[in-house]
Chains A and B, each alone.
Chain A
C-alpha cells in the first residue's frame, strides 16, 4: 500500500492548465524524485500537497485513507513536512524561534514560554542534521545563506506532539548548501527511508537525484510523462523526457575565437571586503569567476557596476577610462549586468515585460531622453524577447506571472537591450530549467561571437568549464590564480578554490555549488 497517493490532480490558473490529471504514488521507505522544467507543474503540485493552493480536482489518500488537505495545518496533521525552495525566515528572531515558527512554543507553569526547553528542542532538531556549529539562541540574521537553509531544513525534523512525520517534501533543498552540508542532509534522508518514511525530492541537480533517489516522476506541461525506478532510467533519458527533445550537448560549441583587443581592463579595483583585483577580458572572450561561496566573485561584479562603493583602482572599457560611480554610469559606459537574485535585484516583478526590458537604457528608447516612445520600446522588446526565446502570453504580461526560466530570460533581454561591450553575469542559470539553460548558453555564445566580452560568476562548475575560455579563481576576497579552461577538470578547479593545502574533493556531489558562510 502506498504511503501517499494522488489521483487525478488538476489545477488551472485563469483557464491555463498548470496540472492535468496528475497521479503520483509514494511507497513507504522511498525517496521519490520529482523532475521537470520550470513551469512543468512541480511547484503547483507541492503547493496543493501543502494546502496552500486549492486544486480544481484531486483525490489524495494517506496510508489508504482519503484525506482533504485544505490548509497548511491539515497537511501537517497528516504527517507531511515541507522544505520550500525560498528561504522563509525572520532575521530578527532567534534560530530556535524560527524553527518553532507556526508551532506551539513549549510552556512553563502559568503559560509563560519555556525558553530553555525551546532552545533545547531546536538544538535537537539541528543535531539530527549533525549540526552543532549553530547556536539556537543566535539571531537568524547573523547566519549566512547556507546556515539559514540548514535551519529551514531542520524545521522539518522538529519532534512535535501529535502528528508524526511520515512524508518529507523537499523543493531544491541543496541550492544553497555546500557539498558537506548536502551530504549530511542526504544521510538524514537515507535514515528516514530506512525507518519507513518517504521523501518527495525536487531538484534540478541530476547527479543528486541519480545518487539519492529510488524512483523518478517526470512532469512536463502539467502532466506526468513517466514514473520509473532510477536504476532503469539513464540521466539523458530523464533530460529528454523533461524537455521533450534530446539535448546533444549540454553546452553549445564556441562559434568564434576570442579577439586580441581588450574590452575590459581592471586595475587594482578595490572595495570593502575585497582585496584589490586586476584582470582583463578580451573582446569575444568568456571568462569565469570561480571560488567557494563568499570568496568575492559577486563583489567584483557589483564593484564594476558601481552597485557597491568602490575604494580605489581603475577600470577601462573599450579603452576608455570608466570606473562606475553608480549603476547608471556603468550601463552607459557599455556594461550590462545580470544580478545574482533575479526576483529581488533583476526584475520589477509587478511591471510588464516590455518595461523591464527597456529600463536600463530607457533614455535611448525615448524622445529626447524624456518622453516615452512606446512604439520604439515595443520594437526593441519584441526583438530581444524573440532573441532570448521568451515564452509569454504577451509583452504586456507582468513578470511575476512568468516561470523562473522565463524571468531570467527577461533579465537577459534587458542586459542586451542595447548591445553592451561587456556582459557581467552573476549565477546566470540558477534555478533555471534545462531547456531555458541551453537557450541562455546559446545566447551567450552568439553575443560573444559578435565581439562582446563576458564575465561569469558561477557556483556551477560544469557551467564554467563548459562555457569559459579562462577561469579566474578567487579565494577569500582576492584573486588566487587564473587558469585556461581548456582541459581543466572539476577536481582541479575545486582544488584551486580550496587552496592547495586542503584539497578536498567530494565524491559525486558537486561541492562546487554555493554555500558555506556566504556574505
Chain B
C-alpha cells in the first residue's frame, strides 16, 4: 500500500488536479479543444524536459537549455533576415544547439567542471551571444517567413465538432516524436543503458569499459540540440524571436524531470515519467489561467507541488 502511494503519489496528485479543474471549469476544461490546446502549450517544455532527462540520467544538469533555446530562435531569425531559406536556417540553428551542448559536454567531461557551474557559465554566455547578435531587439514581422510561423499554427485536421474545426497541432506531433525518440534512446539502446550505469556509479561503469567521458559529452550535445529545437518551436509559435523568450524553460524542465523521478522505483529519471511531470505543470498552468488566477500564485503552487512530491517520495523511501 505504502509503496503504491509512493510510486503513484504523483499520478494520484495529477488525477486530483484534473478532477478539481473539471469541477471548477465544467464547460471548458475537459474538452478536446482545451486538451489539444494544452498539448500545444506544453510542446516546447516537453522537448526541453525530454532532452534534459538525457543528462539527468547520468546525475548531471544542464542549466543552459533556456538561453540556448533563445539563442537558437535568434540565430534562425537573423538567418531569415539575411535571406536564408527556412530549412537551411533551421538546420544551422539546430547545429548551433548541438555545438553549444558539445561545449557543455567538453567543459563537464573533459575539463571536469561541475555541471552546475559549467552550464551556469554557458547560460550567461549563450544569453549574451543572443543579445549581442540581435542587438537586444525582437525580430518579427516580415522578417519571419510565413512558412516558418505557419508551421506552429497548422496541424492535422481531426474533423469538426459543432461549428469548430479541431486539428492536432504540428508542435504537439514534434513533441511526441521527440519523447518517443528519447525514450527509444534511453530505454532501448546501449547508449541509454550506459548512461544509466554512469548515473548509478560512474567509476564502476568506467572500469567496466563504459567510455564515460565520450558518452557524457554526447549526452550534453543532445540536450543542447533538443534545447535548440524547442527554441525554434517557440519562435515559430510566436512568429518572432527575442533573446529572453526561452528563459522560463529551464526551471520548468528540471521541475518536470524531478516530478517524474518521484514515480520511478529507484528515483531514476525516465522520459515517460518526465512527460507526466510536464503535463502536471501544463495542466496547472492552463486551469489556473482559465480560472483567472494570478500567475504569481501559479508559481507558488508549482513550487509547493514539487516540494510535496519529492518530499513524500523521499519520506516513503525512509520508512519502507
Which residues of A are at the interface with B, using a C-beta cutoff of 8 A? Answer: 305, 307, 326-328, 330-332, 337, 339, 344-351, 355, 359-363, 366, 369-372, 398, 414
Contact = CB atoms under 8 A, between A and B. Distances in A.
A362 B268 contact: no
B196 A327 contact: no
B200 A349 contact: yes
Given A351-B196, A351-B200, A328 B190 contact: no
B203 interface: yes
B292 interface: no
20 contacts: A307-B207, A328-B211, A330-B209, A339-B207, A344-B201, A344-B203, A346-B204, A346-B207, A348-B204, A350-B200, A350-B201, A350-B268, A351-B197, A359-B193, A362-B193, A366-B190, A370-B191, A371-B189, A372-B189, A372-B193
Interface of B: 188-191, 193-194, 196-197, 200-201, 203-211, 266, 268
Contact of B201 (A332, A349, A366): A349
A360 B206 CA distance: 9
A359 B193 CA distance: 8
Given A307-B206, A345-B207, 8 more contacts: A345-B203, A346-B207, A347-B204, A349-B201, A351-B200, A355-B197, A359-B194, A359-B210
B205 A350 contact: no
Contacts of B210: 328, 359
A345 B266 contact: no
Given A344-B203, A348-B201, A351-B196, A327 B190 contact: no
A361 B194 CA distance: 11
A331 B208 contact: yes
A464 B286 CA distance: 69
Contacts of A305: 207
Contacts of A326: 206, 211
Contacts, number: 76
A398 B266 CA distance: 9
A348 B197 contact: yes
Nearest to A14: B320
Contacts of A346: 204, 207
B204 A344 contact: yes
Contacts of B190: 362-363, 366, 369-372
A400 to B, nearest CB: 9
Residue of A349, A359, A414 with most chain B CB atoms under a 10 A cut-off: A359
A346 B201 CA distance: 9
Contact of A359 (B203, B208, B268): B208
A372 B184 CA distance: 10
Contacts of B193: 355, 359, 362, 372
Contacts of A398: 266
Nearest to A359: B208
A445 B94 CA distance: 56
Given A351-B197, A355-B197, A370-B189, A331 B209 contact: yes
Contact of B209 (A344, A345, A359, A369): A359
A369 B190 CA distance: 7
Nearest to B200: A348
A363 B215 CA distance: 14
Nearest to A326: B211
B194 A362 contact: yes
Contacts of A371: 188-190
Nearest to A372: B188
Q: Top 9 nearest A-B pairs by Cβ distance?
A: A348-B200, A331-B209, A328-B209, A350-B200, A348-B201, A359-B208, A360-B208, A360-B209, A362-B190
A375 B188 CA distance: 12
A348 B266 CA distance: 12
A487 to B, nearest CB: 36
Contact of A327 (B188, B194, B200, B209): B209
Contacts of B188: 371-372
B16 to A, nearest CB: 29
A372 B192 CA distance: 9
A298 to B, nearest CB: 12
A331 B208 CA distance: 8
A49 B210 CA distance: 41
Contacts of A372: 188-190, 193
A332 B197 CA distance: 19
A372 B205 CA distance: 17
Contacts of B194: 359, 362
A330 B189 CA distance: 22
B130 to A, nearest CB: 35
B31 to A, nearest CB: 40
A361 B190 CA distance: 10
